[in-house]
Amino acid sequence: MPKCRNYLIDIPKFYRWQTFDHIMFGYVNGIRYVAPSTTVKDAILIFLKQFDVQEDDYCFDTAYGTYQRILRSIVQMSNKGDKPDEKTII
């Protein structure tokens, strides 16, 4: 039976949740790429349901705010500096 690696034990919960935020962002963008008619809110709900994430562990409002924050930071990093259109944010 495999053992847990020591370096995984010492990772603070903060960093694990930050990674979870990035996974959620990528998952939501993937859904929206495949099905552009899906709203961000619906895609987040699909993500939460798919991985059986409970509201007490990672609430929808937090996920939605995190998605918006990551999207803004990616847009700001782009060379063009274009703001996303309203369809992207909603």
Q: Where are the domains of the chain?
A: 14-36+44-89
CA distance 19 to 42: 21
Q: Exposed/middle/buried for 3, CB within 10 Å: 0-12, 13-18, 19+?
A: exposed
pTM given for the model:
0.69
Tens of pLDDT, residues 36-53: 999 999 999 999 999 998
Tens of pLDDT, residues 51-85: 998 888 888 999 999 999 888 887 776 655 556 56
